[in-house]
């Protein structure tokens, strides 16, 4: 192509594009200056339309009374009128007032159920009617322009807020997430059946919220706060938005009170404090959920309330967990929030935020300590990715949207310990993240590790070796929990991590030779017994005084002559011996600031006595 022909082609393309742009501006101009249509629905043809228009103009709903006016008569409104202008609906009908009356009387029906006297009932009903407040309802509505895959795009709703709850014409609720120039991207919380292009959507002027309060304890709920355990409906008047600003730095208090999990390895070497965020991470089927369930069971008599959030889990797995908590009398202080793997992605997305809102009610309003388990945030991130891609948000690394870090940081930052001025309540978060082949350097694991105050890393190899809980102490750490650990526990567990690390190194070294000196063999034997002492059964949390006794017994080498496979039975008998002969000593271990020489002498005396009894009975 010659240079002349090339320039002529460019000129023609530019001319064509300019003509297209001009046509678009003409269409926009026609749209902007088109006469607004106002639809007025009245009860009777005798109603004064101009008077209605004047009232609407004074309210700012209508800017001009010269618009194209369409009047309809509808006897079902029972009186009054309904005015529709652009995306605004002003409902001043008697039907609307009757529905409002029904709603308000239903909320206060308890006032009528406490009496059988007809006259008194009539008086109470009259008082309720006199006290009713009728507001002329002004609604902002939009129109569905696209629906599919649980996502609706709505035209209109120009004043809609991000995260606002929206109601569709078939009664389905959704949440606004994408506020674009010409439409709103909305995610649906239930089936889209009955929603088609052209369906009406109205604003609720409320952020997404869930019911909260003590009435929820002992129940299994979906992320909307609705019971799914077959029990009675939940009656609560308290609600909280699922999104909330995290507690500020000046309103927080340092982590100084321990959150005992009942797991010996964690409470001794990876301690957790109330208000901390401690990540539980590892491959699937390594015991992550079991650690969280043990921690919940261990809060039975501590006054700590618990919330277990199952995100994208199988219903059979969650049913088994609920049965376990019930069997251990732990369900009475626990709320289970469950979003199944078959649920829509939006429900899985809001599940942890809904649980956090329930926890904040206990922390802020009741000054309680709460433990929240998020199981697990890997599935939560996948649900958010699914939802974001359907909303056509730009994908980034591993197709996750760019704000996936903020997704979890704004959730976990809400875990805190309140200052005394605010009541001193706390939320402790135990998020769970699943890894693939032990890769903790993947996208979501590194994100959550950088947000939390430490991590408990579970290793598949240790699990298959029979070391359970299968905690890798080299990769596990608690950055703030040490300040909350009891001094008596620090006394017996101070050198434990170092001893185990040295044992691991010697164990690897000893594989290459059989000629070991006496000192090395003793250290290997001691390390083997320490490892056996840290093994713990499923759903069998230990009290803190029992843990201290077990660790002291191992530290003083009372286990060195006990076969490794008998250590669990030995510990069971040792605890029983202390309960029978040293109940006061066990209480002193908890209340004492530190283990004094006198306490240590008494502990050694009882440990020695039991060692002799065990040796005599077992030959």
Which residue in 479, 497, 504, 543 is the catalytic one?
A: 479
Three-class secondary structure assignment of 227-292:
ECCCCCCCCCCCEEECCCCCCCHHHECCCCCECCCCCHHHHHHCCCECCCECEEEECCCCCHHHHH
Q: Are strands 239-241 and 279-282 parallel, antiparallel or unpaired?
A: unpaired
Helices (H), ranges, 433-542: 443-451, 460-464, 487-493, 496-510, 518-534
Q: Tell the residue number behind the tokens 């700590």, with chain if given.
A: 304
Cα within 13 Å of Cα(209), Cβ side? 12
Beta carbons of 353 and 286 less than 8 angstroms apart: no
Residue 128, CB half-sphere, CA atoms under 13 Å: how many? 19
> In 3D, which of 163, 170, 205 has the Cα closest to residue 184?
163
Which one-letter DSSP state was computed for residue 431?
A: E
Taking a C-beta distance cutoff of 8 angstroms, is the pair 27, 35 a contact? Answer: no
Cis status, amide bond into 157, omega within 30 of 0 = no
Give the CB-side neighbour count of residue 159, counting CA atoms within 13 A: 11
**Secondary structure of residue 304 in the 3-state scheme:** coil
Is 479 in the active site?
A: yes
Which letter does DSSP use for residue 361 in this model?
I
Scanning the structure block, which residue is given the tokens 């301690």?
271
Cβ atoms of 37 and 56 within 8 Å: the answer is no
Rounded Cα gap, residues 215 and 232, in angstroms = 11
Name, in order, each residue with C-beta under 8 angstroms of 264's C-beta and a sequence gap of 6 or more.
533, 534, 536, 542, 547, 550, 551
Rg, C-alpha atoms of the chain: 33
3-class secondary-structure state, position 543: coil
Stated as kind and residue range, the H or E segment containing 596 is: none
273 touches 258 (CB < 8 A): yes
Element (H, E) at 161: none
* Residue with token string 């809980």: 469
Helices (H), 298-442: 315-327, 345-360, 366, 377-390, 404-412
Residue 488's SS3 state is helix
DSSP H helices in 66-152: 94-107, 110-113, 118-130
Ramachandran assignment for 557, one of left (phi > 0), alpha (psi -120 to 50 degrees), beta (any other): left
Could you tell me how many helices (H) and strands (E) the chain has, helices first?
A: 21, 20
Could you give the CA distance from residue 81 to residue 230 in angstroms, rounded to a whole number?
Answer: 43
SS3 label, residue 33: helix
Q: Which residue stretches of 391-465 are H helix? A: 404-412, 443-451, 460-464
Neighbouring residues of 97: CB distance < 8 A, sequence distance ≥ 6: 80, 134
Q: Any idea which residues carry the catalytic annotation?
A: 479
């Amino acid at each position: 192509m010659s240079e002349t022909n090339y320039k002529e082609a460019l000129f023609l393309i530019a001319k064509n594009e300019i003509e297209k742009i001009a046509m678009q501006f003409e269409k926009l101009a026609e749209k902007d200056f088109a006469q607004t249509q106002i639809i007025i629905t009245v009860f009777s043809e005798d109603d004064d339309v101009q008077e209605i228009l004047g009232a609407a103009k004074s309210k700012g709903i209508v800017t001009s009374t010269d618009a194209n006016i369409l009047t309809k008569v509808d006897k079902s409104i029972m009186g009054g009128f309904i005015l529709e202008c652009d995306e605004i609906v002003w409902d001043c009908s008697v039907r609307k007032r009757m529905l409002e009356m029904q709603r308000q009387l239903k909320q206060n029906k308890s006032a009528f159920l406490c009496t059988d006297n007809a006259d008194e009932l009539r008086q109470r009903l009259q008082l309720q009617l006199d006290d009713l407040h009728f507001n002329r309802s002004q609604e902002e509505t939009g129109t569905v322009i696209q629906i599919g895959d649980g996502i609706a795009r709505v035209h209109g709703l120009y004043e809609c807020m991000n995260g606002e709850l929206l109601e569709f014409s078939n009664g389905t609720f959704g949440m606004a997430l994408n506020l674009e120039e010409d439409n709103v991207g909305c995610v649906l919380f239930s089936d889209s059946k009955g929603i088609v292009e052209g369906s009406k959507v109205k604003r609720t002027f409320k952020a997404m919220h869930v019911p909260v309060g003590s009435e929820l304890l002992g129940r299994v709920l979906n992320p909307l706060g609705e019971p799914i355990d077959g029990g009675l409906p939940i009656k609560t008047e308290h609600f909280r938005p699922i999104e909330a600003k995290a507690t500020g730095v000046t309103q927080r208090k340092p982590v100084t009170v321990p959150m005992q999990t009942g797991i010996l390895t964690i409470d001794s070497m990876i301690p957790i404090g109330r208000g901390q965020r401690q990540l539980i991470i590892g491959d699937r089927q390594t015991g992550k959920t079991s650690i969280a369930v043990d921690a919940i069971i261990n809060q039975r008599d501590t006054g700590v309330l618990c919330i277990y959030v199952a995100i994208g889990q199988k219903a059979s797995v969650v049913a088994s967990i609920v049965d376990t908590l019930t069997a251990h009398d732990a369900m009475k202080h626990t709320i289970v929030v469950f979003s199944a793997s078959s649920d829509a992605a939006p429900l899985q997305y809001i599940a942890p935020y809904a649980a956090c809102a329930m926890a904040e009610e206990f922390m802020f309003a009741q000054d309680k300590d709460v433990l929240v388990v998020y199981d697990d945030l890997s599935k939560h991130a996948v649900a958010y990715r699914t939802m974001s891609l359907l909303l056509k948000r730009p994908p980034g690394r591993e197709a996750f949207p760019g704000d996936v870090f903020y997704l979890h940081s704004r959730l976990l930052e809400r875990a805190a310990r309140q200052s005394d001025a605010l009541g001193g309540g706390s939320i402790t978060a135990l998020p769970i993240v699943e890894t693939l082949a032990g890769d903790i350097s993947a996208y979501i694991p590194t994100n959550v590790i950088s947000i939390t105050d430490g991590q408990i890393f579970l290793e598949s190899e240790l699990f298959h070796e029979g070391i359970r809980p299968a905690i890798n102490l080299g990769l596990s750490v608690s950055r703030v929990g040490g300040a909350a650990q009891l001094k008596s526990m620090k006394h017996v567990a101070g050198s434990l991590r170092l001893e185990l690390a040295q044992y691991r190194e010697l164990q690897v070294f000893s594989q290459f030779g059989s000629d070991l000196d006496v000192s090395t063999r003793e250290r290997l034997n001691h390390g083997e017994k320490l490892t056996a002492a840290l093994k713990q059964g499923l759903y069998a949390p230990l009290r803190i005084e029992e843990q201290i006794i077990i660790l002291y017994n191992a530290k003083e080498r009372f286990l060195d002559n006990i076969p490794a496979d008998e250590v669990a039975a030995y510990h069971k008998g040792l605890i029983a011996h202390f309960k029978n002969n040293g109940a006061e000593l066990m209480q002193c271990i908890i209340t004492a600031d530190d283990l004094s020489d006198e306490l240590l002498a008494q502990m050694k005396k009882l440990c020695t006595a039991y060692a002799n009894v065990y040796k005599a009975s077992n030959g």
